[in-house]
Amino acid sequence: MPFADDVTASRTFLVVDDEPFVREVLGEILDVLGVEALLVSSGEEAIALLGSREAPLHGALVDVRMPGISGYTCVAALRRLRPGLACAVMSGLDAGEVSGALPDGVRWLSKPFTVAEVRALVGSLQAG
Instruction: From first to last of the 128 residues of the chain, give the pLDDT tens digit.
Output: 344 455 445 789 999 999 999 999 999 999 999 999 999 999 999 999 999 999 999 999 999 999 999 999 999 999 999 999 999 999 987 766 665 667 788 999 999 999 999 999 999 987 65
Report the 10 Å Cβ neighbour count for 85: 18
Q: Enter the pTM of the model.
A: 0.88
CATH of the domain at 60: 3.40.50.2300
In a domain, 36, yes or no: yes
Q: Which domain holds residue 37?
A: 11-127
CB 29 within 8 A of CB 35: no
Residue 88 lies in a domain: yes
Domain count, the chain: 1
* 72 phi/psi in degrees, rounded to 5: -65, -45
6 located within any domain: no
Asked whether residue 4 is assigned to any structural domain, the reply reads no
For residue 5, is it within any domain?
no
| Nearest in space to 16 (alpha carbons), one of 93, 75, 81 | 75
